[in-house]
Amino acid sequence: MKYVDEFRDGALARGLAERIAAELRPDRRYSFMEFCGGHTHAISRYGIAELLPEAVRMIHGPGCPVCVLPVGRIDQAIGIALQRGAIVCSYGDTLRVPASDSLSLMKAKARGADIRMVYSAADALKTARANPGREVVFFAIGFETTTPPTALVVQQAAREGLRNFSVLCCHVLTPSAITHILESAEVRQYGTVPIDGFIGPAHVSIVIGSAPYEHFAEEYRKPVVIAGFEPLDVMQACLMLVRQVNASRAAVENQFARAVTRQGNLAAQRAVSDVFELRERFEWRGLGEVPYSALKIRAAYAEFDAERRFDLHYRPVPDHKQCECGAILRGVKKPVDCRLFGTVCTPENPMGSCMVSSEGACAAHYSYGRFRDVREAAA
Amino acid sequence: MRKTVSVELTPEVAVGDYVIVHVGHAIGVIDAEEAERTLALFAEMAQAAGPAAS
Amino acid sequence: MGVKKDYVRPLDLRQGRIDMNHGAGGRASMQLIDEIFARAFDNDYLRQGNDGARLPVPPELLEGGQLVMACDGHIVSPLFFPGGDIGCLAVHGTINDVAMMGARPLYLSASFILEEGFALAELARVVDSMAAAARQAGVPVVTGDTKVVEQGKGDGCFIATTGVGVVPRGVKVGGAQARPGDVLIVSGTIGEHGVAVLSQRESLEFDTAIVSDTAALHTLVAGMLGAVPPGALHVLRDPTRGGLGTTLNEIARQSGVGMWIDEASIPVQPQVEAACELLGLDPLYIANEGKLVAAVAPEAAEALLAAMRAHPLGQRAARIGSVVADEHRFVQMQTRFGGRRIVDWLSGEPLPRIC
């Protein structure tokens, strides 16, 4: 496959790994955080952590939209289906997340709720057209990549004058979450986060461009390298970060130049700002309330806002007391540091956000990297 | 294999272009020149290591 | 005007549908059986005309061999997909379950649960396909049953099959037999059946040339057993639901061993890779219906591979790794990229990622 295979070349990977090793300063360690589900997945699936030198540590930040979706929002979606009889359309990953009362969207479906898996927002719109007598709600989650498609369907629904379609908007913004991590009072509780640099998200950056990270790099004096989601991209970005750290630089660099520009995808941004506006605050699972970090539907499109339409009120639901997701998302603890990991909390029975989707730090480690814990324990 | 995706977010796209697809939408067009440049950079970085760095 | 003697109006196969009468056990049921099932499956055993079939004792049993029995339920949706349908899938699936024990499959039974309203034309299509598959494999359907459930309770057609076979004395093939040092071999390319079925799901809307690999593997297995010394072939399993990744974990767990596999050695068609790439799926976890994985003593591996490649269903047989001692029973994989990861059990259904 063109533009795919070349970016997964094993021989080049080895070369890059050697190059990174050669340029490391012997007197220090390097910790880089990525906050992109695609990166978490690539690092796990290709075994990149094994290839990188031991002194370089990859931290999985809050890049998985399913993982940061609070239980209270899933309860809302389930409620709309079970109690109000609406057809709720959701992306696949969200279906299995355990919510309140031992339910999940999938379990609610088994109880008779009409919940349908869709691959895109457009599918939800199609469902609305095909079922004019029923309410159809699209459970819209995701970062900036998934938001433009949602904006498009709301615009389309308005054009068609659809009377039975609405969106439960849980779209969140990436840079706000990272800022919150670095700034929040809780960092004092857990200790300073030892992050030397950031790998900027792949898909999100295609949409928002590289510009939004510039202020961020300047403000916090940390380098940001935007990387593609193929494994060679991630490794090259690591090398670029190592170089910046060694030179005490804190600039935004774009490794994903083949798809990311400074201004991003303007058509997408225009659609988003037409339909959505910022929420003052929004709860992120594992991070608590984050200001100006999420979107809601503008008044002009009020009839497509499920929260208004169904008069929904948000009820936060706390996670298990021993769940360490908050610390793990900040890079202060590792999955194995959590007492619930691998025992009570597994991919089949996730207790917290990091285990919920295959891109969560705990899920990725459980599915791909567990063998390393055994080795380290034995050593 | 063929799949229908929306190109509403990439109106500038032309037949023959490579795109990045996400949830049924093309969200970006791949710049072929930049892709080649990135690949060349991988090769250069990987080679510069050489036998000395192991 | 008298009643015409012995005249029974034939089933309307073009437009007719299953109704509750067909399941009542009376004339309508008999007609359904005669005109669709018995006509298609037709063999001496069925012609005995009883609820059970009297079957001869196979010679291997008289020489100290053992009986093997396996059963399967088939609920695939849609019923017809590129490369096959629920009918031939049912036949192949159960023949394979028996063959994976190292056994020679002998007979099949087939039980049908039909939904009121199911089109007779579709039923005839399914049954004809099943009969063709059984004939081609040389394994007859010797007994069966039909029931009808009310509309809304049955998704068209469910089929349950049982297969009976015989394993000669001395052959012991099973999931608990893998030993450290064994070579792991897969009989061909993976991921096709699952992708072929998925391509028919309306919500996905993709066209592909990928067809299901559904096939009866018993002659391949016979060739494999014949090519190596007795006792050299330790494990045979067909990676159906859950795919190769899950099957390897099952074997590792049962045998109390670990495994090391090499991603680059696992044969996958480029089309399947592309489809999985686009849908966010991993070929390792996609169902196969015409492939097997084998664990064989290392000294017999070359001979086994040669025998497999000489068979039409094993032409792309490949060595993918080996069994190792590991109390944690991890299946570890060297990625094409050069890194290392474990191949874990499948969690739930392989739903594609969104980010």
Write a three-state SS string for chain C. CCCCCCCCCCCCCCCCECCHHHHCCCHHHHHHHHHHHHHHHCCHHHHCCCCCCCCCCCHHHHCCCEEEEEEEEECCCCCEECCEEHHHHHHHHHHHHHHCCCCEEEEEEEEEEEECCCEHHHHHHHHHHHHHHHHHHCCCEEEEEEEEECCCCCCCEEEEEEEEEEECCCCCCCHHHCCCCCEEEECCCCCHHHHHHHCCCCCCCEECCCCCCCCCCHHHHHHHHHHCCCCCEEEEECCCCCHHHHHHHHHHHHHCCEEEEEHHHCCCCHHHHHHHHHHCCCHHHCCCCCCCEEEECHHHHHHHHHHHHCCHHHCCCEEEEEEECCCCCCEEEECCCCCEEECCCCCCCCCCCCC
The CATH number for C46's domain is 3.30.1330.10
Pick left, alpha or beta for residue A59 (phi over 0 → left; psi -120 to 50 → alpha; otherwise beta): beta
Tokens of A129: 């057209």
Together in a domain, C194 and C262: yes
**Please, which residues bridge with residue C161 across strands?**
C72, C110
Facing residues of C119 across strands?
C17
Residue A95, min C-alpha distance to chain B (Å) = 16
The arithmetic mean of pLDDT across residues B14-28, rounded, is 86
* pTM value > 0.90: no
Span between the terminal Cα atoms of chain B, in Å: 42
Last-in-domain residue among C167, C196, C226: C167
Could you give the CA distance from residue C53 to residue C71 in angstroms, rounded to a whole number?
Answer: 17
CA dihedral C248, C254, C255, C260 (to 10 degrees): 20
- ∠C282-A67-A223 over CA atoms, to 5°? 90
Please identify, among C167, C190, C215, the residue that sits at the C-terminal boundary of a domain: C167
pLDDT attached to residue C350: 54
C354 Cβ neighbours under 8 A, 6+ residues apart: A65, A66, A91, A92, A93, A142, A146, B23, C280
Are B9 and A119 a contacting pair at CB < 8 A? no
Q: Do the Cβ atoms of A323 and A349 come closer than 8 Å?
A: no
- Answer yes or no: are the C-beta atoms of A165 and A157 closer than 8 Å: yes
Three-state DSSP class for residue A289: strand
Interface test with A, best of C263, C324, C334, C354 (most A CBs within 10 A): C354
Number of domains within chain C: 2
Same domain, C187 and C277: yes
In this structure, which amino acid lies at residue C218?
H
List Cα–Cα distances, C247 to C48, C78, C250, in angstroms: 40, 24, 5
Residue type, C129: S
Domain stop point among C149, C167, C185 = C167
Q: Which domains does chain A have, with CATH numbers?
A: 5-64+175-254 (3.40.50.11750), 71-172+264-309 (3.40.50.11740), 325-367 (no CATH)
Of the candidates A73, A37, A334, the residue with the CA atom closest to the CA atom of residue A194: A334
Residue A305 gets which letter from DSSP?
A: B
Enclosing H/E stretch for A17? helix A10-23
Place of tokens 């089109």: C119
Q: What is the pLDDT of residue C279?
A: 76
Q: Which residue has the tokens 């930040």?
A: A61
Phi then psi for A23, rounded to 5 degrees? -95, 0
CB contact under 8 A, B1 and C275: yes
Task: Check if the beta carbon of residue A351 is closer than 8 Å to that of residue A99.
Answer: no
For chain A, 379 residues long, give each residue's pLDDT as a single digit of tens.
777 777 888 888 888 999 999 999 999 999 999 988 889 888 888 888 888 999 999 988 888 888 889 999 999 999 999 999 999 999 888 888 888 998 899 999 999 999 999 888 999 999 999 999 999 999 999 999 999 999 999 999 999 999 999 999 999 998 888 887 777 665 555 555 578 999 999 999 999 999 999 987 888 888 999 999 888 999 999 999 999 999 999 999 999 999 999 999 999 999 999 999 999 999 988 888 889 999 999 999 999 999 999 999 999 998 888 988 878 877 778 899 999 998 899 888 888 878 877 778 888 888 877 777 766 665 5
What does DSSP say about strands A252-254 and A276-278: parallel, antiparallel, or unpaired?
A: unpaired
Q: Which residues of C touch A143 (CB under 8 A)?
A: 355
CA distance C349 to A311: 34
Residues C90 and C194 in one domain: no
Of B22, A362, A35, A116, the closest CA to residue C347 belongs to A362
From B4, B21, B23, residue closest to C205, measured CB to CB: B4
Strand partners, C335: none
The encoded tokens of residue C287 equal: 């169902």
DSSP A368: I
User: Do both C183 and C320 map to the same domain?
Assistant: yes
- CATH number of the domain residue B44 falls in: 2.30.30
Q: What is the DSSP letter of A366?
A: I
| Residue from C192, C207, C211 whose CB has the most chain B CBs within 10 Å, to mutate | C207
- Identity at A184, one-letter amino acid code: S
Specify burial of residue A221 (Cβ count, 10 A radius: 0-12, 13-18, 19+).
Answer: exposed
Which chain A residue shows the shortest CA-CA distance from C205?
A119
Amino acid at position C2, single letter: G
Size of interface B-C (CB pairs under 8 A): 21
**Contact of A79 with A71, CB cutoff 8 Å:** no
Residue C220 lies in a domain: yes
Within-domain flag for C28: yes
- Residues C327, C210 within the same domain: yes
Place B52 in a pLDDT band, splitting at 50, 70 and 90. very low
Inter-chain CB proximity B10 and A267 less than 8 Å: yes
If asked whether residues C183 and C66 sit together in one domain, one would say no
CA distance C206 to C204: 6
Residue C309 maps to a domain: yes
CB contact under 8 A, C203 and A118: yes
Q: Is residue C106, in this structure, part of any structural domain at all?
A: yes
Direct distance between the N- and C-terminal alpha carbons of chain A, in angstroms, rounded to an integer: 41
CA A13 – CA A231 distance, rounded (Å): 8
Interchain pair C278, B1: CB under 8 A:
yes
Pair C93, C130: CB distance under 8 Å: no
Using a CB-CB cut-off of 8 Å, the residues of chain C touching B23 are: 354
The domain of B12 spans 1-54
Nearest chain B residue to A236 by CA: give it: B42
| Closest approach of B46 to chain A, Cα-based (Å) | 4
Instruction: Report residue A343 as tokens.
Output: 């025992």
- Amino acid identity for residue B54 in this structure: S
* 355 residues of chain C, pLDDT tens digit each: 566 777 778 898 889 999 998 888 888 898 999 999 999 999 999 888 888 999 998 998 889 999 999 999 998 888 998 999 999 999 999 999 999 999 999 999 999 999 999 999 999 999 999 999 999 999 999 999 999 999 988 789 999 999 999 999 989 999 999 999 999 999 999 999 998 888 877 556 677 788 999 999 999 999 999 999 999 999 999 999 899 999 999 999 999 999 999 999 999 999 899 888 877 788 999 999 999 999 999 999 999 999 999 999 999 999 999 999 999 999 999 988 888 888 988 766 554 444 4
Pairing between β-strand A87-90 and β-strand A56-60 as defined by DSSP bridges: unpaired
Q: Are strands A115-117 and A87-90 parallel, antiparallel or unpaired?
A: parallel
Tell me which chains share at least 3 CB pairs under 8 Å with chain B: A, C
C163, C28: one domain? yes
Same domain, residue pair C230 and C291: yes
Residue C204: list chain A partners with CB under 8 A: 119
Residues C258 and C315 in one domain: yes
Domain that holds residue C39: 20-167
Backbone region of residue C348 per phi and psi (left: phi > 0; alpha: psi in -120 to 50; beta: other values):
left
